[in-house]
Chain A
């Protein structure tokens, strides 16, 4: 959510309504995008940080409430105002449960819609006051030391999302790429660094793999190892740095870095794909401590670009 609720996506299958709403909202200084398709709306939401979505309950490719449900399934937190031609109780209850911010009945009363947006704006400002803008800090950092016997209970989204959303408005695509990087780094540290799984062990069927992991974790030398995870935001460099260090034996990272610099070829093998993804999704990939420590830096898009 930006400082001012400003960027709005309007979804309606009726081009006339879209045009009228876009005109009304633009006159009132809102930045408006429109689409007649729910699928296209989902595509746009991945790319752009909209503050608010105004959505008709009946769009051709998806029901407005199903659309709202999908937003919540993706953990996208945009406020949604539902436009509806009928206010049936079942729809109303479901929309409330899915967290709709308001309902506007058709035919749309422009002033009622503007009032509704104002109410959503006040609510979002209240939320913002509970967060800390990155501008106030040179650097913000979050660190975890992870016990490998508890690794399976950790969900990286739950660690990173609240931290990042406290300081930044990132597009869903950027956030997803960062989550993938962190997931790759932690998974490598756990499977290769801590557990020292072989290729054959990694490719076992899940139940068998779990048995192998549980067996390894009974060994005190393995169970006493730790993974150190740090994510930090740097205002001056406008970047995010993720660092993962494990207590394993490291690996021949120099050889891997040489391979990563070569053009990608089709790889059906199990090794190296995660490193390839890290290399291409980050602006800088650095190994140290004999391969036990890996650091990526991802430059952030400018606020306007996001």
Chain B
């Protein structure tokens, strides 16, 4: 392996690391001791601000700044909620991190809750990961027994109760206000903003919502200082990032990379993905989870200006929507030349149609239209006007909805047409060929 820095995954692989004793022997909970015994909440906040760490759930908003916005009215409880809903197609890093090293997240939750002044904090885990919930609950019980959770932590007078909450199988509950609704025992309908959670969140109290990976950086930042963290990575993309890699690559899995790594090295080096499966070549990449624009191989390796593309927030989005994409949640899906872009786009469109909560008509109706029209094209039933219709529907959704799911549904469709229009046209021009191609999938196994 290259001499790369590991902040989140350094302990993964140590035999028995999911047990408190082993984790503790390997330096675990030292950061909690340091934060609670030697630092004030404001001092911790300062380090997090200095680190420049950005939210790892998808939007990339600086974590220290978000924490700074938390309202602190007298006598009103504040909450920290960890977003472990992880449902963005292509993303499985939080799943991996929680099951492999549960105490890291618990440690991060204690530090973050202490900093924000929360006495009850929640980890909202997607319900399908019930076995991970049991792992976390066991870790919490161990930490409590050792005095790191519960009343009067390490004799400091600070109390913290940590609750793991299961979801029920709804992608939309990853959106932070839908998540809060769900945590209150309601349907996961996103809220209108403002008010923002920092002012009125869970139970109408000031609340911070952060991703698993974001919170898990705090132990390292406390131990090593925000400035050291900010020196890792590239420019405003500080630190390391977990990338979930799937698709036609030799080594799928979760990788911790230093931000700024060239995409080409990430894909082809044996330290990372090990290249495309034998006998095949890269056709396209969805770099940040299903919601971000798809890019053809040439544009993911190099920007339109011919610069080498890097794994960073800035480099991936270079070229805007015309020729760039986004880092998003780091769900890196690689596709070789056997992939039908139309089918893949239809698959994602069906996903968003299924997951739309239905509150706003552009999203509810628009995702349905895109699903239907793409189904039609993929199955040799498309007509010439369908491509423009799709572009039009996508445009009408974008920016016209309560939450960003609408945009997330529109971008994959718009970008697939932008970069692979000829494939859509081919399906429409040669319906019989398109139907023959369907034979690969042995007909309509999956109904709309």
A binds B: no
Q: What residues of chain B have their CB less than 8 Å away from a CB belonging to chain A?
A: none
- Show the binding face of A for B, using Cβ within 8 Å: none
